[in-house]
């Protein structure tokens, strides 16, 4: 019997190893393959659905930007690798996802979805998005209902903010921060500089 385990930001990402579809082939992916890089885990309910292909394709279209940020991406659902393969072989105009720039991971046993606490009562993955840093620590999590797609631009903004504060440990990013904008110094005698400048 599978039981839920709660994880949160700041925890080590649960380890997994699974079969994925990438470039029309089956390959084994392991969380440890991504040590030293940032990783976005994109959980989604099912192949051949309505919102899912819009997200999967949108993230594929920003893949070059992710690579420039030392970041990889894996999309995960409870479908089999055979379903993933068929979905990538179907044209986007017909509801498929076509050629993707990153792997689709098969979680048929639902163990990965369960370990990240995104498995719902129907046995589908909710729209969970996790940003994992170079040390394997979860830095961001977002979970949407099945009917609401995620924002690619906000994911990029959040990733850049995470990387900025990790590289500048005496600074934090305010609401709506974008690269190049002012940050807040974490020393009490300097934190007011930001508020005086806006």
Considering the candidates 52, 76, 97, 129, report the single residue annotated as catalytic. Answer: 52
- Domain span at residue 100? 17-150
With beta carbons less than 8 A apart as the criterion, state whether 71 and 159 touch.
yes
**pLDDT attached to residue 2:** 57
Residues of the chain with pLDDT under 50: none
Tokens of 65: 């930007």
Domain assignment present for 11:
no
Q: Which pTM does this prediction carry? A: 0.93
- Measured CA angle at 179 (ends 178, 184), to 5 deg: 75
Does the annotation count 173 as an active-site position? no
Domain assignment present for 169:
no
Report d(CA 198, CA 193) in Å as an integer.
9
Domain assignment present for 113:
yes
Tell me how many domains the chain contains: 1
């Amino acid at each position: 019997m599978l039981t839920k385990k709660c994880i949160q930001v700041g925890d080590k990402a649960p380890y997994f190893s699974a079969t994925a579809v990438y470039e029309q082939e089956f390959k084994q992916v392991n969380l440890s393959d991504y040590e030293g890089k940032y990783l976005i885990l994109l959980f989604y309910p099912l192949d051949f659905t309505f919102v899912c292909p819009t997200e999967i394709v949108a993230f594929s279209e920003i893949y070059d930007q992710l690579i420039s940020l030392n970041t990889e991406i894996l999309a995960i659902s409870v479908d089999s690798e055979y379903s993933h393969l068929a979905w990538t072989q179907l044209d986007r105009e017909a509801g498929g996802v076509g050629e993707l720039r990153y792997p689709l991971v098969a979680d048929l046993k639902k163990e990965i979805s369960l370990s990240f606490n995104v498995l719902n009562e129907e046995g589908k993955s909710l729209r969970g998005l996790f940003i994992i840093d170079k040390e394997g620590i979860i830095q961001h999590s977002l979970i949407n209902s099945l009917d609401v797609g995620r924002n690619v631009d906000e994911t990029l903004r959040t990733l850049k903010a995470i990387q900025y504060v990790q590289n500048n440990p005496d600074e934090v990013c305010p609401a709506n921060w974008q690269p190049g904008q002012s940050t807040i110094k974490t020393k009490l005698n300097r934190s007011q500089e930001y508020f005086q400048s806006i």
